[in-house]
Amino acid sequence: MKKVFFSVLIIYLLYAVTMSSYLFLVDTPLPEAYIGTEADPNTFMNEEQLILSTDFSKWRNVLYFVHTPFEWLIYLFVICFGISQFFARWSKQLIKFKFFQTALYVILLSCLSFLITFPIKYVAYSISKQYGISIQTFESWMKDNLIGFWIEALLLTVVVYVIMYLISKSPKRWWLYTWLLSIPFTLFLMFIQPVVIDPLYNEFYPIQDKELEEEILQLANQVDIPADRVYEVKMSEKTNALNAYVTGIGSNLRIVLWDTTLMSLSKEEVLFVMAHEMGHYDLNHLKQLLIGMIALSFVGLFITSKLYQFTINNVGKQLNLKRNEMAAIPIILLILSLLSFTTSPMSNAISRAYEYQADRYAIDLTDEPDAAVATFHKLSVEGLADVNPPTIVKLFRYTHPPMVERITHIREYRNEIDKTK
């Protein structure tokens, strides 16, 4: 199995070199139809911004395509070299109760993964600072990483404990019971995230501009969004990027604006952004995505159970692993991660379609196409966005349409409306 790992490692290194070379060398020309239009970055970015956005995007893309399969290597490494088995045995020797055994195992596994991937994360942080997107101090960045570490460790402990328990009780149907339990668990996390998890990272408070808040709430009332307050989040100490979103479910539904967005956009532009986010809610995108995620997890867990059984049957003895052993959990995590990556182009395509719908919704609600285009220009400049990415990057990374397509879509939609009047 060690030979298998080193073979996979060589394949990974060849892949990393090839993919990095391609992403650094590829130049995606702007389609002729866009040249000279509002969607052409040459019309709203200066020469320095164009160079910076191109270079920054290439670094981000390389780090994504290198880092994602690197995580798979970690799972393979801890299994093939007996590290997972050692962590599991040690946890059982030190602790009597099963849940706390699981917690210690997860912490040990998470610590190892954190240390191995830390250099890549630090490079990503450094590049973001170098290009002026991040202004976060190293101390603040480390604090966010540590908070994320413990939140993920806690959630993973619960997931691993439940999965191992179900496998021991129902070897053939554990995946189905896991799926059924994942539904209320996901809804619970969505409910508590705005009020419990998000405030651990950033400071949230009622928006300071009360006049703007009133206009935003008026928009919300028009589309029956049950929100009675708009929240501002203090991001200006961490980033120069802009963002806004509607989050949470039920009584914890929140409309949130980054303070950087309020500093950079005009009132009309902010209202367009908020109308776009409200569109996601009113068009039931959040519910549809949730239903789609639940359906996809059903298929994913079924496939995972079959691949997991196949792996244990064929290499379980060589790895000294049994089906219901905690030490085998990296196999399940590896399979789930692989499935998530392979389905990302499909989920991203659906997300991009929803973004187009929300853009049209915002135009209908605000009647401000000029504000929409100006917003997209500012988002591109402040975030050094690649407005016309390579196809492979768009497929695997873009949950939102590239700005070239998004700006053009807005104008075409508005022209269609004008023709019908």
SS3 245: strand
The H or E element that residue 4 is part of is helix 2-25
**Contact (Cβ atoms closer than 8 angstroms) between residue 160 and residue 106:** yes
Task: Clarify whether 359 is annotated catalytic.
Answer: yes
Return the exposure string of 197-233: e unless at least 16 CB atoms fall within 10 Å of the residue's CB, then b. Answer: ebeebeeeeebeeeebbebbbebbeeeebebeebbbb
Residue with tokens 């089906």: 323
d(CA 24, CA 219): 43
Catalytic residue among 213, 232, 259, 277: 277
Q: Is 355 annotated as a binding residue?
A: yes
Q: Is 276 annotated as a binding residue?
A: yes
Within 367-397, residue ranges assigned H as helices are 369-383, 391-397
**Contact (Cβ atoms closer than 8 angstroms) between residue 111 and residue 377:** no
- Beta strands 254-258 and 244-247, pairing class: antiparallel
Task: Clarify whether 386 is annotated catalytic.
Answer: no
Catalytic residue among 213, 259, 269, 359: 359
Return the exposure string of 331-349: e unless at least 16 CB atoms fall within 10 Å of the residue's CB, then b. Answer: bbbbbbbbbeeeebeeebe
Q: Which residues are catalytically annotated?
A: 277, 359
Residues in the annotated binding site for Zn(2+):
276, 280, 355
Residues in the annotated binding site:
276, 280, 355
